[in-house]
């Protein structure tokens, strides 16, 4: 994906817009974009509930685009109207509000690009809705918090109930584009532009038109027919059902409004309010076109207000439920890492009360022989409103994790985000397990599994701690979708994608080595240097830790063997008191063995693994830096191209060939635009990286502190246990007579 952006020609509107989106995401933080992605799991469950045939894989595959499509529109639009500009400063400080602005602007912007169709469609859709619901709702319209909801709900349900095909954007979008001629210009562009880029891009862009264009028709068609059903489902008093259903709609919304609305859902039992809100949403939606800028400011405060209160109550209730005891295989200290996360995350998300905690448990071998794989139970506990439950679990296999990482990298790396690296694939370890018998008590393979489990857990929590990443549709699908994910084929080292990736990587490395960028930004210069130093030092430290772990393990085993030997000696010893004392000695050393062993695990999981994670994270940071260099290269390239074109134009002018001048003029203009765009892009990624790094530094310092404190505590506990051991032994030694 990243590569696709290197060649200048690819620099199209869509590209730009895409970046804009991402940037917006970044700023508006968790609340905003995530919502959209929920669609998938939601829909899935719904469909399942409805007994639709959709439960089968195909829908799963076809749906993912949907959510991402959900993402698109607002972002897209926001980028289209940079004049709204707000995306930068205001939202930065207050994510919630930022979300608000975002939403508003989206709605507001909707019209400009798609003047004739979308608004009209929107209104068309909404009118019936209002009719249905607004009896109770209308009064509160002004509050407006979750306005967008209903119509999206409609969209949502429409695909399920009426026409499954909707979900496959490819089919739908073309016709719709033709329908909504003007409006889809952008989307059409996107469509046309996207093919050259990678498949993922394709997906994204494809969904865009779908959302933009397909929805309206769907609504048009089904609005009236579907809606009652939907509404009824909302109104059903049965809380669970309604919550579920209510949650479902929210997901489909692209906007914070939805997120806001989702909070109540989480609280459960507020269906009436909910539905009313939904209705409000519709109303609001239809209104927005009329006065785009105003709502932004108007709506924000109310949005913020209702948002926070619901969140607060959730935390206390949620926390007691937390039995972070999901790691049966490991008495190891991995959970602390997860526990530490929420606080770190607070720093990040700036929305104090949110937490998400993911634990991986029950590694299970599925299948036999080389085709077998390990599956893990992924349990999530959260109070973040856009998740439909507070506590649930799904089953994922290892390659799913890698797939998730791949997707996240594809989507977010280019916008300067540091993406926590997934655990490495280990062909040897895996093969061993695959070939091993089911009940292999082989310690090395159980060690391997436990290590992998722990690192997956750390990986998930690191990703979840990032407000943007955790709200990514793919991430949410990953943790929420209660079904098998489509197989991530690209993760296998032997697949064609693997080979391709290898080539790419080689290319990148060459590029990294050959291209030296004149750093104009002192911050980056220093940071790059610091990162390099840090990398080297961490590696050194990691080696020292590995040494420690190895020695401590050795100590543990040698202590155990001494214990055994001392037991033999005690049985041989003829002097009874001495024999007893030796026996005690054997027991004491046996216990110290256990202590050393636990301590070695602590050495490993607290120190060594965390440090290793950071070495990999530093790698991710380097990737991001490199991404910036690539953007810089693109910019430089555009500049040289522009210079060339200008030259050509000057030549043409000198030669007096007016026809060519015109063409050259066009080209110059085109490249000027490109230069501008790439420069903007470069500035943006630089800015984004700075912000990311700030976060990274904070989290890293905190992580390190946590790590060391935890480790010292573990050491202290060990020593205290050793004290106990010898205290019990001492009288025995004294008793020798």
CB 692, min distance to other proteins, A:
17
Residue 719 within binding range of other proteins, rule CB under 8 A: yes
CB 348, min distance to other proteins, A:
17
Q: What are phi and psi of 486, to 5 degrees?
A: -60, 140
Residue from 94, 102, 113 nearest 78 by CA: 102
CB 715, min distance to other proteins, A:
5
Residue 61 within binding range of other proteins, rule CB under 8 A: no
Sheet holding 356-366, edge to edge: 356-366, 373-382, 391-397
CB 600, min distance to other proteins, A:
9
CB 520, min distance to other proteins, A:
23
- Distance, CA of 662 to CA of 418 (rounded, Å): 44
CB 702, min distance to other proteins, A:
10
Closer residue to other proteins in complex, CB, 504/533: 533
Residue 241 within binding range of other proteins, rule CB under 8 A: no
- Distance, CA of 708 to CA of 719 (rounded, Å): 16
- Distance, CA of 560 to CA of 594 (rounded, Å): 8
Residue with the two structure tokens 């798609």: 114
Residue 515 within binding range of other proteins, rule CB under 8 A: no
Residue 171 within binding range of other proteins, rule CB under 8 A: no
Total Cβ atoms within 10 A of residue 427: 10
Closer residue to other proteins in complex, CB, 500/708: 708
Residue from 261, 217, 209 nearest 122 by CA: 217
CB 346, min distance to other proteins, A:
18
Interface of this chain with other proteins, residues 679 to 698, rule: CB under 8 A = 697
Check: CB of residue 354 under 8 Å from CB of residue 384. Answer: yes
Tell me whether strands 373-382 and 391-397 are parallel, antiparallel or unpaired.
antiparallel
Task: Kindly indicate which of the ranges 315-323, 450-458, 558-566, 685-693 contains the residues binding other proteins, using the contact rule CB under 8 A.
Answer: 558-566
CB 566, min distance to other proteins, A:
6
Closer residue to other proteins in complex, CB, 323/571: 571
Tokens of 372: 């077998």
Check: CB of residue 110 under 8 Å from CB of residue 119. Answer: yes
Tokens of 514: 């050959």
Residue 259 within binding range of other proteins, rule CB under 8 A: no
Residue from 149, 100, 99 nearest 125 by CA: 149
- Enter the DSSP assignment of 180: S
- Distance, CA of 624 to CA of 612 (rounded, Å): 19
Check: CB of residue 124 under 8 Å from CB of residue 220. Answer: yes
Task: Kindly indicate which of the ranges 51-59, 342-350, 414-422, 547-555 contains the residues binding other proteins, using the contact rule CB under 8 A.
Answer: 547-555
Closer residue to other proteins in complex, CB, 540/651: 540
Mark residues 562-601: x for contact with other proteins by CB under 8 A, - for none: x-xxx-xx--xxxx-xx--xx--x---x------------
Tell which one of 291, 551, 647, 694 touches other proteins (CB under 8 A): 551
Residue 489 within binding range of other proteins, rule CB under 8 A: no
Tokens of 155: 């969209």
Q: What is the dihedral of CA 462, 465, 466, 468, to 10 degrees?
A: 130
Residue from 358, 320, 353 nearest 339 by CA: 358
Residue 615 within binding range of other proteins, rule CB under 8 A: no
CB 726, min distance to other proteins, A:
4
The H or E element spanning position 205 is: helix 199-209
Tell which one of 46, 552, 628, 677 touches other proteins (CB under 8 A): 552
Contact residues toward other proteins (CB under 8 A) are 530, 533-534, 537-538, 540-541, 543-545, 547-548, 551-552, 554-555, 558-559, 561-562, 564-566, 568-569, 572-575, 577-578, 581-582, 585, 589, 697, 701, 704-705, 708-709, 712-713, 715-716, 719-720, 722-723, 726-727, 729-730, 733-734, 736
């Amino acid at each position: 994906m990243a590569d696709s952006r290197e060649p200048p020609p690819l620099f199209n509107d869509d590209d730009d817009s895409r970046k804009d989106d991402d940037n917006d995401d970044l700023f508006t933080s968790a609340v905003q974009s995530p919502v959209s992605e929920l669609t998938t799991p939601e829909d899935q469950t719904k469909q399942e509930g409805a007994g639709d045939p959709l439960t089968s894989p195909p829908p799963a595959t076809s749906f993912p685009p949907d959510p991402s499509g959900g993402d698109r529109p607002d972002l897209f639009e926001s980028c289209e109207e940079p004049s709204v500009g707000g995306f930068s400063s205001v939202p930065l400080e207050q994510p919630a509000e930022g979300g608000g602005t975002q939403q508003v602007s989206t709605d507001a912007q909707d019209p400009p690009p798609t003047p004739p169709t979308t608004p009209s469609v929107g209104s068309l859709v909404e009118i019936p809705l209002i009719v249905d619901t607004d009896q109770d709702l209308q009064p509160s319209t002004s509050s407006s918090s979750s306005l967008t909801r209903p119509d999206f709900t409609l969209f949502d349900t429409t695909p399920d109930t009426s026409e499954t095909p909707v979900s496959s954007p490819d089919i739908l979008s073309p016709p719709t584009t033709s329908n909504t001629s003007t409006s889809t210009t952008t989307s059409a562009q996107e469509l046309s532009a996207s093919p050259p880029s990678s498949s993922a891009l394709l997906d994204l862009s494809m969904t865009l038109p779908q959302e933009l264009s397909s929805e309206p028709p769907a609504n048009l068609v089904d609005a009236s027919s579907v809606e009652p059903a939907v509404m009824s489902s909302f109104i059903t008093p049965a809380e669970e059902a309604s919550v579920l259903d209510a949650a479902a709609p929210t997901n489909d919304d692209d906007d914070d409004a939805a997120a806001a609305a989702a909070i109540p859902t989480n609280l459960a039992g507020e269906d009436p309010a909910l539905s009313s809100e939904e209705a409000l949403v519709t109303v609001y939606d239809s209104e927005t076109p009329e006065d785009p800028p105003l709502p932004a400011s108007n709506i924000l405060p109310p949005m913020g207000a209702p948002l926070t209160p619901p969140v607060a109550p959730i935390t206390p209730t949620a926390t007691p439920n937390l039995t972070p005891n999901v790691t049966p295989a490991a008495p190891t200290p991995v959970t602390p890492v997860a526990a530490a996360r929420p606080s770190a995350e607070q720093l990040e998300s700036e929305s104090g009360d949110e937490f998400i905690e993911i634990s991986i448990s029950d590694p299970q071998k599925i299948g036999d022989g080389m085709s077998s794989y390990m599956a893990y139970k992924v349990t999530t506990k959260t109070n973040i409103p856009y998740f439909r439950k507070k506590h649930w679990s799904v089953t994922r296999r290892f390659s799913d994790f890698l797939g998730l990482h791949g997707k996240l990298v594809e989507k977010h790396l280019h916008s300067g985000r540091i993406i926590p690296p997934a655990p490495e694939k280990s062909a040897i370890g895996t093969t061993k397990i695959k070939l091993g018998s089911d009940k292999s008590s082989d310690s090395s393979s159980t060690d391997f599994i436990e290590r992998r489990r722990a690192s997956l857990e750390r990986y998930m929590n690191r990703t979840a701690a990032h407000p943007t990443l955790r709200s990514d549709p793919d991430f949410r699908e990953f943790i929420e979708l209660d079904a098998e994910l489509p197989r991530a084929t690209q993760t296998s080292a032997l697949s064609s994608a693997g080979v391709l990736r290898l080539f790419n990587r080689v290319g990148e490395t060459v590029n990294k080595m050959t291209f030296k960028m004149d750093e104009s930004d002192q911050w980056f210069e220093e940071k790059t240097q610091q990162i390099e130093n840090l990398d080297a030092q961490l590696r050194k430290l990691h080696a020292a830790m590995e040494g420690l772990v190895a020695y401590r393990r050795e100590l543990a085993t040698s202590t155990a063997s001494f214990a055994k030997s001392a037991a033999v000696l005690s049985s041989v010893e003829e002097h009874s008191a001495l024999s007893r004392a030796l026996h005690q000695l054997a027991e004491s050393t046996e216990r110290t063995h256990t202590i050393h062993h636990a301590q070695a695990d602590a050495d490993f999981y607290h120190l060594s693994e965390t440090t290793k994670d950071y070495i990999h994270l530093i790698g991710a940071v380097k990737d991001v830096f490199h991404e910036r260099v690539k953007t810089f290269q693109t910019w430089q390239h555009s500049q040289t191209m522009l210079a060339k074109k200008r030259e050509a134009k000057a030549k043409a002018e000198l030669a007096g060939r007016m026809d060519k001048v015109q063409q050259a003029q066009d080209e110059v203009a085109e490249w000027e635009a490109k230069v501008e765009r790439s420069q903007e892009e470069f500035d943006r990624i630089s800015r984004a990286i700075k912000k990311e790094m700030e976060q990274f530094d904070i989290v890293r310092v905190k992580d390190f502190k946590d790590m060391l404190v935890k480790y010292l505590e573990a050491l202290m506990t060990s020593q205290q246990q050793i004290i106990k051991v010898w205290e019990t032994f001492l009288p025995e030694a004294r008793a020798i007579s």
